[in-house]
Amino acid sequence: MSIPIPSRQLFIDGEWKEPIKRNRIPIINPSTEETIGEIPAATAEDVEAAVSAARRALKRNKGRDWAATSGAHRARYLRAIAAKVSEKKDHFVKLETMDSGKPLDEAVLDIDDVSTCFEYFAGQAEALDNKQKYPVQLPMDRFKSHVLRQPIGVVGLISPWNYPLLMATWKIAPALAAGCTAVLKPSELASVTCLEFGEVCNEVGLPPGVLNILTGLGPDAGAPLVAHPDVDKVAFTGSSATGSKVMGSAAQLVKVSHNTKKKFSL
């Protein structure tokens, strides 16, 4: 079942880019403890480039800004991603098993769920179009009020090792459906399928910068991402100890932080 591990760089602004410091991290197969490849090791300089790309994609000129597109427009990309992941299912399943040590049958279920999740949030993106400017009834007729739903901006996404691509998808799909742009930092213990997902984004033509993917160590890449002033929200899944650090860092700039073990808004 073993297959070659694709040699990838960081996925920034729709392109594969070598990390500024040119460092890499070995990939260890948990079932054999053998080194089966390498992933790029991002640092603060790469985080800066990725966040800048996400910020540009959020509000580009000439009507190409992701935040201003309709939910139906974004849904087309999400459905294309779902179809492409299904098409490459066997490839992703094998990589997931080799990288995380997950049993093959569980990896099959996970990758199926990845496609299903993107399909689901495509529907949610379309539903947003019908919720815009929803009227709010007020006691005085001379005042008019309505709800305008807008993306929060650039979001930093930090995902764990145990459901690598699936738990990243739980963060990516709703963020993109809402019109946000994102920078994903998966766990350095299992990053292969998340990094490979960048190629899916290229193949479906996702606009550059809408999703950026950085692999690397938490202190070197995750911490600068959480603390970056142009990141408007952070979604994190992991240990409570690290979650506390994420919350503390987000609090310095009064940004929204979400931890799937402990939920909080600041």
Q: Give me the residue spans of the domains in the chain.
A: 10-15+41-59+66-259
Residue 133, Ramachandran bin (φ over 0: left; ψ between -120 and 50: alpha; else beta): left
Q: Which DSSP letter does residue 106 get? A: H
CA dist 27 and 10 (Å) reads 15
Q: Which residue has the tokens 């008019």?
A: 144
Mean pLDDT by 10 residues, the chain (266 residues): 86 98 96 94 98 92 78 97 98 96 95 98 94 80 82 95 96 97 97 98 97 96 94 86 71 59 38
Taking residue 250's Cβ as centre, other Cβ atoms within 10 Å add up to 24
How many residues would you count in the chain? 266
Regarding the domain with residue range 10-15+41-59+66-259, which homologous superfamily does it belong to in the CATH classification? Aldehyde Dehydrogenase; Chain A, domain 1 (3.40.605.10)
pLDDT tens digits, one per residue of 106-120: 999 999 999 999 999
Using alpha carbons, select from 211, 214, 196, 87 the residue that is nearest to residue 158.
214
pLDDT at residue 264, rounded to an integer: 35
pLDDT at residue 263, rounded to an integer: 39
pLDDT at residue 238, rounded to an integer: 74
The HSE-up count of residue 115 (CA atoms within 13 Å, CB side) is 17
> At 15, which helix (H) or strand (E)?
strand 15-17
pLDDT at residue 259, rounded to an integer: 56
CA dist 167 and 159 (Å) reads 6
The HSE-up count of residue 21 (CA atoms within 13 Å, CB side) is 13
Taking residue 213's Cβ as centre, other Cβ atoms within 10 Å add up to 27
Q: Is 207 exposed, middle or buried (0-12, 13-18, 19+ CB in 10 A)?
A: middle
Contacts of 219 (CB under 8 A, 6+ apart): none
CA dist 10 and 13 (Å) reads 10
Beta bridge mates, 64: none
Side chain identity, residue 42: A
Structure tokens at 221: 């890449």
Query: For 73, phi and psi rounded to 5 degrees?
Result: -65, -45
CA dist 58 and 172 (Å) reads 15
Q: Is 90 exposed, middle or buried (0-12, 13-18, 19+ CB in 10 A)?
A: exposed
